[in-house]
């Protein structure tokens, strides 16, 4: 009875063993698949880091994927999300061949009905027949591109959640398809393929940039070589002239002298046929003391006639002729063919001009068809001819001296006197050169080099004798740019000369007055034991400058600002003294000009404070502590808001809310103003979208530094486009001092903005020096009357302000300009402006500057 039971147990055991074998086989297959995948990933990483070109890399990627699954038909498509374009950088297909080129770029519109673009937008892996995938992606298969496949599998290539392309494999044969496992593998591989391709693309881009830079460097090297060649040629020419000059001082025979001249010229140009011709003393004969002719022709003394040499002497300039031109001269009768001799292919002659006129000429000519003289050769021969003429004159003078040997004693006395005169003149010239080296040619004052030398000596003296003290006064002419640009450089030079003369009147020897550069001067008081002495000199200079100056037909008022640095043991270099005096000068100008400031510890601390403030402002930019405030600009007739002016505030973490006066001067000084402005402009445009509406206008203030950037208009318009503010809704405000700083650059930038539709407002109108010229010169749309003219309205003695405001309004109406009155704080001022016909105003009466969320939304600006 036990036998059947044993049989059943055996079957069960066999079944269990079979299942175990199957599991082991499946596990082996998975391990093999994992090993293939690992090898493929290693291969992809190796290829990405290799020196393979792009196509070799892509072929290697194809081979690696083919080891993992059936991939006879395979392509890689890259997608550019910014440009919305697709490139099939690799395409291998048994049915469709090379359907797409690797360098072809397709727009999204061109591929709108393709599985590839739909798969990119779908962002998920797809598998199935191509018709089924197309149907799942919402495509009409009848309009599809390429041969339908039996099995299709595509996976997106992602990075940071965004699709940058797809990998696609497909099969046209039954039995060769893809499983979910293949899909998982391809999804896993896709990211590695994307990394490898992007790395190779980046490498190729870098190589292109390196190649371009190499080409640029090669071009620069070629230019440098050309410059070196030109300098070597110039040096060679200079050496040649020296050699010719030296020949005149020798005692060689005339034949040796002329032969040496020939050898020297042969180093500069081809002189196979060469001659020197000289006129006789009476000018009737032409002698040829030296000639070499490759054709064998002989040149003998002849009466002055109509030969080629005589033609060049008559022209009184260097003559370069070719055979055709020579024949034309013969036909015209300018040259006698019988006198001319053997015909030359190219002929070049330069007159030898002495103190009494032409004394002869030097000639080179060619009988060879491959040798023609160029204009550069003519310039060289002309230049050399001057030195030859000078040398010949010296030799002739030597001959004359030798001929007058009988009168040697008298001539020696005369010559001695001449030499003494020349020595005196030479000494005077040397003294003048030393003076020119150490003095300013315009004012005749000592220059920076001279002053630094004196300062250096004063420092050394103080180091040896600490009780000896000196002072340096650093001066700058106030508003000199206005004189120079507004009245012309001649007036500016006259002003500098007048300032120099007045300063010289204020000091005595051994004190030094010098001009450092431009409108900057300095006074060195070498014996100045007390600061009060330096202050007395500074006050004397200010008082002297207060007197009116007569320049041409103009009466000008010139003033200076002065910074004073007293010597002390801490000074080790001249630059330290100049720096402290310059710091004091800067403070004097900032304090209102026409004054002097003595450098002390407070100024040093102030300079350090500026450095601290600079660091705080940089941190404020990084952490967003600057914020825009807005003040309304209202229409006086209906009290409606027409727009807003943007004003900056700093939410300081320690000092609280700061107005612009607390930090903008330091921002201008340190150059941070541009970065702060751009930060403010963007914040203002973004915030203004809530309350500006379609008709409102946003005003922003422009720093003078922006007019040094030609890219400013393009950058501003790009920012408007990004923040969706129309160009006609932006008004840039500039001050008259800003326009004066660089009127040409400002005009170009404002013209560009005006052409784009941006409005231009002249701020603080009436406070500058040439307001009317600005209205005429620049493309203004708005004048903002300065608050100084608005404040007296409604008070006693307002007639003058009323007259000025009325005149501005009349001017604006005639020029079709908008006028905004600034600083309106009382109803009386508002009523007075409205009575005069002013349409717009701005001030505390209508609203103080406040953040964006304080102002009403868009609807309040309508109408």
Q: What distance in Å separates the CA atoms of residue 601 and residue 598, rounded to the nearest whole number?
A: 10
pLDDT of residue 342: 76
Task: Count Cα atoms within 13 angstroms, Cβ side, for 756.
Answer: 24
629 band by pLDDT with thresholds 50, 70 and 90: very high
Is the preceding omega at residue 85 within 30 degrees of 0, hence cis?
no
pLDDT digits (tens, 9 = 90+) for 178-193: 988 888 888 888 888 8
Lowest-pLDDT range of 454-458, 611-615, 838-842:
611-615
pLDDT of residue 130: 87
Helix (H) or strand (E) holding 152: strand 151-159
Average pLDDT, stretch 420-442? Answer: 85
pLDDT of residue 726: 93
Q: Are 394 and 375 in contact (CB under 8 A)?
A: no
Adjacent-strand bridge partners of 841: 634, 821
Helix (H) or strand (E) holding 595: none
Q: In this prediction, what percent of the chain has a pLDDT beyond 70?
A: 91
Q: Are 127 and 178 in contact (CB under 8 A)?
A: yes
Residue with tokens 């300081």: 652
Average pLDDT, stretch 698-724? Answer: 91
Q: What is the DSSP-derived secondary structure letter of residue 731?
A: E
pLDDT of residue 4: 47
Q: Above 80 in pLDDT, residue 246?
A: no
Residue 252 tokens, joined: 């060689």
pLDDT digits (tens, 9 = 90+) for 144-167: 677 888 999 999 999 888 999 999
Contacts of 428 (CB under 8 A, 6+ apart): none
Residue with tokens 């600005």: 774
Please tell me whether residue 438 adopts helix, strand or coil conformation: helix
How far CA 556 is from CA of 492, 560, 778, in Å, comes to 11, 13, 27
Lowest-pLDDT range of 335-349, 518-532, 714-728:
335-349
pLDDT of residue 771: 55
341: exposed, middle or buried (Cβ count in 10 Å: 0-12, 13-18, 19+): middle
DSSP letter for each residue of 164-224: EEEEEEEE-STT----HHHHHHHHHHHHHHHHHHHHHHHHHHHHHHHHHHHHHHHHHHHHH
Please tell me whether residue 435 adopts helix, strand or coil conformation: helix
Start-to-end CA distance of the chain, whole Å, equals: 110
Q: What distance in Å separates the CA atoms of residue 600 and residue 565, rounded to the nearest whole number?
A: 8
Give start and end residues of each alpha helix (H) in 50-174.
Answer: 54-66, 115-122, 130-136
Q: Which has more pLDDT, 691 or 249?
A: 691
Q: Above 90 in pLDDT, residue 34?
A: no
pLDDT digits (tens, 9 = 90+) for 59-85: 888 888 888 889 899 999 999 999 899
pLDDT of residue 773: 62
pLDDT of residue 388: 82
pLDDT of residue 410: 83
Q: Above 80 in pLDDT, residue 14?
A: no
Q: Parallel, antiparallel, or unpaired for β 560-566 and 471-477? A: antiparallel
pLDDT of residue 669: 78
User: What is the CB neighbour count within 10 angstroms for residue 112?
Assistant: 11
pLDDT of residue 622: 92
Dihedral of the alpha carbons of 351, 354, 359, 365, in degrees to the nearest 10: -20
750 band by pLDDT with thresholds 50, 70 and 90: very high
Q: Above 70 in pLDDT, residue 249?
A: no
pLDDT digits (tens, 9 = 90+) for 847-856: 999 999 999 8
Phi/psi for 734 (5° steps) reads -125, 145
Q: What distance in Å separates the CA atoms of residue 520 and residue 561, rounded to the nearest whole number?
A: 10
Q: What distance in Å separates the CA atoms of residue 787 and residue 809, rounded to the nearest whole number?
A: 15
99 band by pLDDT with thresholds 50, 70 and 90: confident
Q: Are 156 and 166 in contact (CB under 8 A)?
A: yes
Output helix, strand, coil percentages for the chain, rounded to the nearest 5. 50, 20, 30
pLDDT of residue 662: 83
Phi/psi for 197 (5° steps) reads -65, -45
749: exposed, middle or buried (Cβ count in 10 Å: 0-12, 13-18, 19+): buried
pLDDT digits (tens, 9 = 90+) for 561-617: 999 999 888 888 989 899 889 888 888 887 778 888 888 756 555 555 667 788 889
pLDDT of residue 601: 58
Q: How many Å is the Cα radius of gyration of the chain?
A: 45
716 band by pLDDT with thresholds 50, 70 and 90: very high
pLDDT of residue 603: 56
pLDDT digits (tens, 9 = 90+) for 815-830: 899 999 999 999 998 9
Q: Above 50 in pLDDT, residue 269?
A: yes
782 band by pLDDT with thresholds 50, 70 and 90: very high
pLDDT of residue 797: 56
DSSP letter for each residue of 615-636: HHHHHHHHHT-EEEEEEEEEET
pLDDT, the chain, mean: 85
Average pLDDT, stretch 706-735? Answer: 92
839 band by pLDDT with thresholds 50, 70 and 90: very high
Q: What distance in Å separates the CA atoms of residue 597 and residue 561, rounded to the nearest whole number?
A: 8
Q: Above 90 in pLDDT, residue 223?
A: no
8 band by pLDDT with thresholds 50, 70 and 90: low
Q: Above 80 in pLDDT, residue 243?
A: no
Average pLDDT, stretch 248-263? Answer: 76
Q: Parallel, antiparallel, or unpaired for β 520-525 and 471-477? A: antiparallel
pLDDT digits (tens, 9 = 90+) for 790-818: 888 867 656 788 888 888 898 889 889 99
Residue 149 tokens, joined: 């496949």
């Amino acid at each position: 009875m036990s036998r059947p039971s044993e049989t059943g147990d055996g079957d069960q055991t066999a079944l269990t063993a079979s299942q175990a074998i199957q599991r082991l086989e499946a596990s082996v297959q998975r391990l093999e698949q994992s090993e293939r995948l690992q090898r493929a990933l290693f291969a992809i990483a190796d290829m990405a880091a290799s020196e393979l070109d792009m196509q070799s890399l892509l072929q290697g990627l194809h081979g690696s994927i083919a080891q993992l699954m059936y991939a006879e038909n395979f392509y890689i498509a890259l997608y550019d999300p910014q440009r919305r374009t697709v490139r099939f950088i690799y395409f291998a297909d048994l049915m469709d061949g090379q359907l797409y080129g690797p360098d072809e770029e397709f727009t999204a519109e061109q591929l709108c009905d393709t599985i590839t673009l739909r798969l990119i937008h779908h962002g998920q892996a797809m598998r199935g027949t191509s018709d089924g995938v197309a149907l799942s992606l919402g495509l009409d298969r009848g309009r599809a591109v390429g041969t339908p496949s039996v099995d299709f599998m595509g996976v997106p290539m992602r990075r940071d959640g965004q699709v940058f392309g797809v990998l696609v494999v497909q099969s046209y044969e039954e039995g060769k398809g893809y499983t979910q496992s293949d899909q998982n593998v391809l999804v896993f591989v896709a990211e590695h393929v994307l990394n490898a391709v992007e790395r190779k693309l980046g490498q190729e881009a870098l190589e292109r940039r390196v190649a371009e830079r190499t080409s640029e460097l090669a071009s620069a090297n070629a230019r440098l070589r050309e410059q070196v060649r030109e300098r070597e040629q110039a040096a060679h020419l200079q050496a040649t002239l020296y050699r010719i000059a030296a020949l005149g001082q020798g005692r060689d025979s005339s034949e040796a002298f002329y032969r040496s001249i020939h050898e020297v010229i042969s180093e500069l140009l081809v002189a196979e046929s060469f001659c020197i011709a000289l006129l006789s003393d009476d000018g009737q004969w032409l002698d040829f003391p030296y000639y070499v002719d490759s054709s064998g022709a002989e040149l003998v003394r002849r009466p002055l006639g109509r030969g080629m040499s005589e033609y060049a002497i008559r022209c009184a300039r260097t003559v370069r002729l070719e055979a055709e031109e020579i024949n034309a001269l013969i036909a015209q009768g300018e040259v006698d063919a019988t006198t001319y001799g053997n015909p030359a292919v190219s002929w070049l002659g330069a007159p030898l001009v002495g103190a009494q006129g032409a004394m002869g000429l030097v000639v080179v000519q060619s009988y060879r068809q491959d040798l023609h003289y160029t204009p550069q050769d003519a310039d060289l021969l002309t230049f050399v001819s001057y030195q030859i003429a000078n040398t010949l004159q010296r030799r002739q003078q030597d001959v004359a001296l030798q001929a007058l040997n009988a009168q040697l004693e008298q001539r020696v006395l005369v010559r001695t006197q001449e030499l003494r005169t020349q020595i005196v003149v030479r000494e005077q010239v040397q003294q003048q050169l030393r003076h020119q080296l150490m003095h300013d040619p315009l004012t005749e004052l000592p220059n920076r080099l001279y002053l630094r030398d004196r300062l250096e000596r004063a420092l050394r003296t103080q180091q040896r004798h600490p009780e000896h003290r000196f002072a340096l006064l650093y001066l700058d002419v106030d508003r000199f740019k206005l004189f120079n640009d507004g009245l012309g450089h001649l007036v500016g030079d006259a002003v500098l000369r007048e300032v120099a003369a007045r300063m010289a009147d204020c000091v005595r020897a051994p004190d030094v007055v010098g001009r450092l550069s431009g409108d900057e001067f300095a006074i060195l008081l070498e014996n100045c034991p007390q600061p009060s002495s330096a202050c007395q000199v500074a006050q004397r200079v200010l008082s002297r400058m207060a007197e009116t100056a007569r320049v041409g037909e103009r009466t000008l008022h010139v003033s200076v600002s002065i910074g004073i640095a007293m010597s002390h043991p801490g000074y080790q270099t001249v630059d330290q003294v100049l720096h402290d005096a310059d710091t004091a000068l800067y403070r004097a100008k900032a304090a209102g000009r026409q004054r002097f400031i003595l450098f002390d510890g407070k100024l040093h601390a102030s300079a350090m404070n500026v450095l601290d403030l600079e660091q705080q402002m940089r941190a404020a930019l990084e952490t967003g502590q600057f914020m825009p405030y807005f003040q309304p600009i209202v229409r006086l007739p209906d009290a409606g808001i027409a727009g807003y002016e943007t004003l900056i505030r700093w939410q300081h973490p320690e000092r609280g809310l700061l107005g612009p006066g607390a930090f903008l001067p330091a921002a201008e000084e340190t150059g941070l103003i541009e970065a702060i402005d751009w930060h403010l402009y963007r914040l203002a445009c973004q915030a203004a979208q809530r309350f500006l509406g379609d008709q409102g206008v946003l005003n922003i203030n422009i720093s003078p530094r922006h007019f040094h950037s030609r890219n400013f208009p393009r950058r501003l318009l790009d920012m408007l486009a990004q923040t969706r503010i129309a160009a006609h809704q932006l008004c840039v405000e500039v001050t008259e001092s800003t326009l004066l700083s660089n009127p040409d650059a400002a005009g170009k930038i404002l013209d560009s903005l005006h052409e784009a539709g941006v409005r231009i407002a002249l701020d603080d109108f009436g406070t500058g020096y040439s307001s009317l010229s600005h209205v005429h010169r620049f493309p203004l749309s708005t004048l903002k009357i300065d608050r100084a003219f608005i404040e007296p309205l409604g008070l006693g003695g307002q007639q003058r302000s009323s007259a000025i405001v009325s005149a501005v309004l009349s001017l604006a109406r005639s020029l079709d300009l908008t006028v905004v009155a600034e600083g309106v704080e009382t109803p009386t001022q508002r009523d007075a402006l409205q009575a005069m016909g002013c349409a717009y105003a701005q001030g505390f009466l209508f609203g103080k500057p406040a953040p964006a969320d304080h102002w009403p939304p868009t609807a309040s600006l309508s109408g």
